[in-house]
Amino acid sequence: MTVKEIFETMDYGPAPESAGDALAWLVDQGDRFGHFIGGDWTEVGETFESRNPATGEVLAHLTQGTQAEVDAAVAAARKAQPKWAKLGGAGRARVLYALARLVQKHARLLAVLETMDNGKPIREARDIDVPLVARHFYYHAGLAQLMESEAPGMEPLGVCGQVIPWNFPLLMLAWKIAPAIAAGNTVVLKPAEYTSLTALCFADICRQAGVPAGVVNIVTGDGAVGEMIVTHEGVDKVAFTGSTDVGRIIRRATAGQGKSLTLELGGKGPYVVFDDADLDSAIEGLVDAIWFNQGQVCCAGSRLLVQEGVAERFHEKLKARMDKLRMGNPLDKSIDVGAVVDPVQLETIKGLVDSSGGEVYRAACEVPEGCFYPPTLITGLSPSDRLMQEEIFGPVLVSTTFRTPEEAVQLANNTRFGLAASVWTENLNLALGMAPKLVAGVVWVNGTNMFDAAAGFGGVRESGFGREGGWEGLSAYLKPAGKAKPLAPVKAMAGKGDPAGDALDRTAKNYVGGKQARPDGGYSRGVFTPQGKLIGHVGIGNRKDIRNAVEAAQGAKGWSGTTGHLRAQILYYIAENLEARADEFANRINTMSGARNGKAEVAAAVSRLFTYGAWADKYAGDLRSVPIRGMALAVREPVGVIGALCPDDVPLLGLVSVMAPAIAMGNRVVLVPSEPFPLAATDFYQVLETSDVPGGVVNIVTGAHKELAGTLAAHLDVDAVWSFSSSDLSAEIEEKSAGNLKRTWVNNGLARDWMGAAGEGRVFLDQSTEVKTVWVPYGE
């Protein structure tokens, strides 16, 4: 094509990127790879092929991992970890800086290798993925440098098992490895079976950067290898990015093992366009949102919601833009849409589209032979249609319309996912009003697919839990220094059901929806002093009582929208009313337990209420420094409904220590109080009744922890479960929480000093909140 022809037709000419250096690197490695364990390559074992999805060409043969090789990788990581942690943050920072610089030096090699292995356009690998990889290592080098001063009293978790997907092979590696090693952990990482080559190239870079042997280990193979890693008893932390179904399996497989867990799972992101939006800009953003990386993006804007008045015009403009997208050789720099990663994934996409209803429009662009699928738009679907609810993970967009902002919110949130959302409008008040209402971990205003190492990324609901990036991402790889003591089970006092003297008999009730409620089962049990004297009866709650309490908590959603100042005033009021009855509560605690520390426990509970009253209007988030003309707001939002099994040994302080941070941050709670000493809690709800606590914000159901834990954990309207019971119920809670992938915070059989510093602080506030990152670009 001549220059004259280009000007006359305005067609793109080919602009192929040379694959020579990448192919030479593969040849230098012999096109056959073992694992990277203990700083060296292992012998090549049984292999599988890594293919270029655009051409079908075999690029290399990779070793299928075995249990023995996973054991060796974990052992190497375990051996290296103490010395790596002892190096200190400043020492680790130098290594991370070296990794960042070497990624930049080998940027073109990595980009080409990524495109050949994954099928994404070279422009995306070159201009987005690889620069972000370098950015993550630079940023986390800085966090490592600052860790001792900014995270005192924290230490690394140990050995981290990490499993990453095939859609962003090198970028996901950086998201996982950078914070882990910055914090002083060591890593065993399994790249995706389809796309392992850039991970192996990164292993080569680790050697060049002077990463000590065993700090980074890479084992290749299929899903069975991932299972070996995440369930390995030598792994202390599991980080997984992938499908929701696999995330649910991992949650169940690791239940009760005491492992820290981060899950970044699927999504069905809403892309909301209001009638006052710049429609042309919104269409360009939509091209990036859904056809970036062939739609193989967990946070893709795959559900288009357009305001009714402009929907027809928007769809016509969109179809015209789709027809101009270019598909072809991903190494061609003028290509917009590359190859789907594998024939298996291609068949999945075809099957989903072919079985759908609605009106299907496929772009009129030329579709090459091989693993390619054209950009597709499907309209006319109902909100409950399978394709409006399920992740397609391909270049397929589904669309519907809305009339009002309220309807847009309902449609946007009408899914089990909650990863990312985009809002397009020229009305900034409307955009910022929408952002807190959207159930998503990330909200982009007049933009999409904005990422940075400083801004936390992650989901809610069945999009997983935990954040990657920012200080919150680093904290997922840290724990309090020191060793906790094992739990000591606390048993209820035994006695006979003798009359309680001249006092009137009183059976304490549950507290549900702001009212005292008799237990559904109609059963109660006696509560005795250490001398066997009956001091009262308490109801035995069951699953119906939990259901009623959760319904009441869901009905109190307005609490999450109140100001921190109002929540603080109510916490102060609770503290004042509790202190006014301090002697009564102290006597009750002493009578039940036979101890003499009731006065100190009440004083600590009052102090704790004041502490969280003080935090209520101060723990709101911050502004992140990101490399755009705009802002990234890290907003702390309440988790929702939190079910909690309260500590047994400190019946009043334990309940207050769980309740206060949760409601201070805007959550509603369902509390199961101390099982052996429940009367402190049933006296405490009298304080709540006189302290202006709205009905449903705090609900108390007495009963056996073991009987009620599973019900709380399995309830789909509970967003998080905490367990501080002296009975170790961690395994059951974590296993049953997999139903809706709710967050869990369990004690794993370890005790906590509730009277000391461990009984309060930021960790409780962190567990009470989710970080939502709201990106707001500005300027023309």
Active site residues: 264, 298
β-partners of residue 361 are 377
DSSP classification of residue 477:
T
Q: Which of the 8 DSSP states describes residue 126?
A: I
H helices of 358-469, where?
386-389, 405-412, 428-434
Residues 6+ apart with CB under 8 A from 719: 639, 640, 641, 642, 742, 743
Which parts of 581-650 fold into alpha helices (H)? 582-593, 598-615
Do 776 and 633 touch, CB atoms closer than 8 A? yes
- Nearest C-alpha neighbor of 639 from the set 673, 662, 614: 662
| DSSP 3-state of 96 | helix
- For the chain, the farthest-separated pair of C-alpha atoms sits apart, in whole angstroms, at 107
- Hey, which bits of 679-763 come out as E strands? 698-700, 720-723, 743-746
Q: With contact defined as beta carbons under 8 Å apart, do 454 and 471 qualify?
A: no
Q: Cα–Cα–Cα angle for 450, 333, 208, nearest 5°?
A: 70
Distance CA 138, CA 135 (A): 5
- Sign of torsion, CA 25 28 33 34? negative
By the 10 Å C-beta count (0-12 exposed, 13-18 middle, 19+ buried), 629 is classed as exposed
* Strand residues in 265-311 grouped as ranges (E): 270-273, 303-307
505 class by beta-carbon count within 10 Å (0-12 exposed, 13-18 middle, 19+ buried): exposed
For residues 349 and 336, what is the distance between their CA atoms, to the nearest angstrom? 19
